[in-house]
A and B are shown apart, each in its own frame.
Chain A
Amino acid sequence: MATLDLKGVSKQFDDTRVLDNINLNVADGELVVFVGPSGCGKSTLLRLIAGLEAVTTGDVSIGDRDVSHLPPSKRGIAMVFQSYALYPHKTVRGNLGFALKHAGAPAADIKRRVDAAAAILELEDLMDRLPRALSGGQRQRVAIGRAIVREPDVFLFDEPLSNLDAALRVHMRVEILKLHQRLGATMVYVTHDQTEAMTLADRIVVMRDGCIEQVGTPLELYRHPANRFVAGFIGSPAMNFLDAQVREGRVVLGDQPLHPCTRTDGPITLGIRPEHLVQDDDGPLSGGVEVFEHLGGEAFVHITLGENLKVVAKLDGEKVYRPGDTIRLSAPEERCHLFEHS
């Protein structure tokens, strides 16, 4: 078990800069999740930590060792890939024990560690099968088992669940969380599923275009997003963004003055999450219902407040609206976020 430190890490492929000055400290036993849109450099960062790509500048340290120039096998890491990457011609047992066997561990040791990992992941009955005779979920468990067997300082996961169907994904997510609690290992987990990020992470790292936008616990990011990008990325359905004005110390939406604010006058972006809009007959906002999606316990109401002012509200499913109905809403001041106008 160990800490992981990234200092000024940059990566350049030919002429394109894929990662720019990444600084991050991961504490011992922490589970950190990287999220961000496709192509923002999450996998590349993970591969740099693993040593599969060389850093252009900067240092990677694991524990107190600078590992920037060590090959992957010497860094004390294990990696689980999106495509499982099992050796297709080796049985489950062969796959689990391969790294140890290659490192020359005694047979008894290998057997003990392989059996222990198999027990944790309930793979005992599958030990003599080849990967092609396993289901997707079973393959992913073998891939995770292969990482456990190596007893690494740091586990690296690159979208390990994205090839699984929705139900299995939820199940495996819980498994990974249990595994984390059980092993207490340092883990870095890449995903672009924000539910996975919210539920798994001790801390989330939000990335965009090769830079870190914000680092924080899931609730910090949810409650106090540093900018509009993070606000839009965390939370589902996504936060509503509305063009508003600051006039004489108040936020004004359309012609409707809302709560007071200390910013100087000018255009501003008002962000409010769908779940924070409340139906309120005395509320300051009113608009026409455009689409009404009922999910049983709750409902998503798409509302037009005015020209270019559309919001989605998540309401309880008690009251049913029809397209064309008028609805009044209020937005609690402490739930509203103000961002630079863009």
Chain B
Amino acid sequence: MPWRKRTTTGQALSAAAIHGVLLAWCALALFPLYLVVINGAKSRRAIFNDPLKLPTSDTFSAKGYASVVGNSEFPLYFGNSLVVTSVSLLLILLLGAMAAHALSEYRFRGNTLLGLYLIVGIMVPIRLGTVALLELMVNLNLTNTLTALILVYTAQGLPVAIFIFTEFLRAVSREIKDSARIDGLSEYRIFFEVVIPLVRPVIATVAVFSMIPIWNDLWFPLILAPGQETRTVTLGVQQFIGQYTVDWGAVLAALSVAVLPVLVMYIIFSRHLIRGITAGAVKG
């Protein structure tokens, strides 16, 4: 049957084409990261002479990484970033999922309106409110604290989180929740023990999407918490950028190290993440 053979070659070809496109995309996306990592391990001269080359025995220099690891401030910045990101993330996931559960599960007056109010923030860039936020933090005596950053990031992340969670929590079968009610679970335990396990992939997805902008943010740390004690990694890296000289080796090395937590999170969540994204795609 000749037609049959043709289909299989056709299929192989299209599979190859798809993989080709994906690989090309992958290379493109990874290229800047690759540059950051390899140049972090080169001497300053080599970075400028031949930015694309891998470090050789001549050009290799651990000075960049050494100045990052040796810098007594860096672990502090790193810790600040970790605290701010993880606490904000926790709050976003917890409050976002709870709000979405309430909106999708309970009938009450003003439900739709409240839902709209909670997600309309997606359309308002939070940075427009920077001046007001700064004033607020000054009045609350929260400038130069991690709390200020955590509050702002939680507010920034909630609308999208609520939006995504609401979509998925609506799809959770009402009958499962009802059976839990008959089994005598409280509404809180229904949420934590029945609903949350059902939407784990969605939580992973929201976690990754919310985490990256927080980890990478330079704006709010610069404005709300520029003090020595509360600097985050992105802000801390700036100290290698002097007014007249820039320690590129150190900057790049610091950035390479800063990528690690994001990478680790991604690897932990990615299995769920892919399920979350495709589940959304199928349900529409």
Residues of A within 8 A of B (CB): 47, 50, 52, 71-74, 77-79, 81-89, 98-99, 102-103, 146, 150
Contact = CB atoms under 8 A, between A and B. Distances in A.
B183 A85 contact: no
Contacts of A150: 183
A72 to B, nearest CB: 4
Contact of B183 (A52, A89, A99): A99
B198 A72 contact: no
Nearest to A146: B179
B152 interface: no
A98 B183 contact: yes
A47 B179 CA distance: 11
A103 B183 CA distance: 8
B135 interface: no
A50 B178 CA distance: 10
A81 to B, nearest CB: 4
B176 interface: yes
A113 to B, nearest CB: 14
Which of B182, B184, B197, B198 neighbours the largest number of chain A CB atoms within 10 Å of its CB? B182
Interface string B178-213: 111111110000000010011000000000000000
B58 interface: no
Nearest to B178: A52
A208 B72 CA distance: 78
Given A52-B178, A74-B184, A81-B178, 20 more contacts: A52-B182, A71-B184, A72-B178, A72-B181, A73-B184, A78-B182, A79-B179, A81-B179, A83-B175, A85-B173, A85-B175, A85-B178, A87-B194, A88-B197, A88-B198, A89-B198, A99-B184, A102-B183, A103-B184, A150-B183
Given A87-B194, A88-B198, A89-B197, A81 B183 contact: no
A89 B197 CA distance: 7
Which of A78, A82, A86, A87 neighbours the largest number of chain B CB atoms within 10 Å of its CB? A87
Contacts of B183: 73, 98-99, 102, 150
B182 A72 contact: yes
7 contacts: A71-B181, A81-B179, A83-B175, A85-B179, A86-B176, A87-B180, A99-B182
A26 to B, nearest CB: 19
Nearest to B198: A88
A11 to B, nearest CB: 14
Contacts of A84: 175
Contacts of A103: 184
A166 B173 CA distance: 24
Contacts of A47: 178
A82 B183 CA distance: 17
List the 7 shortest-distance A-B pairs measured between CB atoms, nearest first: A73-B184, A85-B175, A99-B183, A81-B175, A72-B182, A85-B179, A85-B176
